[in-house]
Amino acid sequence: VIGNETRCPPEFLALAHWLADASGAILRRYFRAGVEVMEKPDASPVTVADREAEAAIRAAILSAYPGHGIVGEEHGTERADAEFVWVIDPIDGTKSFVTGRPLFGTLIALAQGGAPVLGVIDHPALDERWVGAVGWPTLMNGRETRVRACAGVGGAALLASSPHMFEPDATAQFERLRRRARITLYGSDCYAYALVASGYADVVAEAHMAVYDYLAAVPVIEGAGGVITDWRGRRLSLDSGDRVLAAGDAGVHAEALRLLAGYKRSR
Amino acid sequence: VIGNETRCPPEFLALAHWLADASGAILRRYFRAGVEVMEKPDASPVTVADREAEAAIRAAILSAYPGHGIVGEEHGTERADAEFVWVIDPIDGTKSFVTGRPLFGTLIALAQGGAPVLGVIDHPALDERWVGAVGWPTLMNGRETRVRACAGVGGAALLASSPHMFEPDATAQFERLRRRARITLYGSDCYAYALVASGYADVVAEAHMAVYDYLAAVPVIEGAGGVITDWRGRRLSLDSGDRVLAAGDAGVHAEALRLLAGYKRSR
């Protein structure tokens, strides 16, 4: 996948760890420290912590690989046509960050030719880090971690950031999945994908996602034995749409796809 | 409040800490350990961890104060007519517990003559404990903690366990509050009250709550300078209804009460 290799080169993994360390140090300094919450044009919250952490990550990438591209939530895109493009979200779950909830995370992904080859989901306030990469097993704090089997959506724990993320176009589809699931839980942000990768939960379904919201989850979920696609079953890439479905069990993923696709207006 | 004293006696506070320690040790042993999830008659999940933790708490209370009453989520009520009644929920947020999310908490309250005089919100997977009691400042991990000021609901961070907890009767009222709030975040369970007590968030509004879901939050919120009532502004007690509104800022609490009460069917 990477040139003639079948594994993501260790030097990229090392850099990804370094980026998460650098970002985490900044976020821990600002977490619960009363930072001002500003509003972006789309009304989503942002803080100086988001911006400072992303700047630190970008500087380190540029220093190590000046030719690589970067897509970031706060500071935009550069060299998007490079073979290797890093895709970063310094704080996924800014609402959690600004309300003192430790579930927010830093997302770092590397795409080669548009396809994700490395992903980090790092939770600095919890000291928990998931790392997935092509050809490597997914690690949680350095230890191999795996999805769990699940007999069907009827026995599954379903996670999503918020029911309001589906409004208005995807609500009916998500509701069909939610009403079948055994348990539904909101408010996990990127932690949801990590929980599925480690076999604590079974399904994540989300909509209106940007590339920096989902790309890092792909190697993490796949390296743990799970399945992650858009809502039509297509692989996720740098250019994917905005809907994501991840499951630990391939059968549950297939059933969830059918539930999402099979919605018919009934009232 | 307690006899001729104006402060909750320290021996009750000491017991409450001991109960949370004992419960937390059990919960940490079962958390992320693949415990079987059973379904209660109301379809809510329960595990052996819930039952074992509550049994340990009850045994310790009986040993210390055989004449006190106990109300627990899993093992029912005894001596409800005693002057002092302990109200306990070993795992508030069982859905979080069974999906590996560390936000679940143990709730321990003491009521005298029906009125809450002591409350503990303990999060064993996060090593975070809030303790409130009449006549004492609320402590978070042993340090005084306070609510924050907030200019209005329009600038407030609003927390609730799930939008589905309001169905069907309270949805319209909650929606009125949610649409006014600056940020809404689901999935915090009892952690929400702790976050308001420490000034990280501003409002919690919940419905269909049992006494063991809310009673511990009362001394925690009040001892931190906040306001907590039902949705009609009445003090919460052992016999309250099922709707809870907590706010760090008294003005925000009053505005939120008006929003909840002022709903008029408009379509």
**Per-residue model confidence as pLDDT tens digits over B204-215:** 999 999 999 999
Q: What is the mean pLDDT of residues B106-127?
A: 98
Q: Which of A194-203, A236-245, B55-64, B105-114 bottoms out in mean pLDDT, i.e. has the lowest?
A: A236-245
**What's the Cα-to-Cα distance from B5 to each of B2, B10, B114, B134, rounded to whole Å?**
5, 11, 17, 10
| Predicted pLDDT of residue B150 | 98
Closest CA to A120 of A103, A101, A139, A104: A139
CB-based contact, A181 to chain B, within 8 Å: no
Question: Could you tell me what percent of chain B has a pLDDT over 70?
Answer: 96
Please report the pLDDT score of residue A45 as a whole number: 83
pLDDT value for A3? 53
Contact A160, A184 (CB under 8 A): yes
Q: Which residues of B touch A96 (CB under 8 A)?
A: 185
Question: Rounded CA gap, B244 and A187, in Å?
Answer: 20
The answer to whether residue A191 neighbours chain B at the CB level (below 8 Å) is: yes
Q: At residue B49, does pLDDT exceed 50?
A: yes
Contact of B255 with B243, CB cutoff 8 Å: no
The confidence score (pLDDT) of residue B267 equals 35
Q: Which residues contact B124 (CB under 8 A, 6 or more apart)?
A: B20, B23, B24, B25, B27, B28, B31, B105, B106
Closest-CA residue of A relative to B44 is A183
Can you name the residues that pair with B130 across neighbouring β-strands?
B121, B140
pLDDT, residue A168, reads 85
Mean pLDDT along residues B193-206 = 98
3-state secondary structure of A202: coil
> Is the pLDDT score of B95 beyond 90?
yes
ipTM: 0.93
Instruction: Say what percent of chain B tops pLDDT 90.
Output: 86
Sheet order of strands, A157-160 included: A183-186, A157-160, A203-206, A244-247, A227-229
Residue B64's alpha-carbon distances to A105, B11, B57, B69, B242, in angstroms, are 43, 10, 11, 12, 30
Q: Report mean pLDDT in 10-residue bins for chain A, 267 residues.
A: 74 98 97 90 86 96 98 92 97 95 97 97 98 98 98 97 90 95 94 98 96 97 98 94 95 97 54
pLDDT at B203: 98
Q: Which residue of B has its CA nearest to A200?
A: B99
Select from B72, B73, B55, B53 the least CA-distant residue to B63: B55
Mutate to test the interface with B, among A121, A147, A186, A203 (most CBs of B within 10 A): A186
* pTM, rounded to two decimals: 0.94
B11-B13-B15 Cα angle (round to 5): 70
The pLDDT mean for chain B works out to 94
Residues 72-111 of B with CB under 8 A from A: 95-96, 98-103
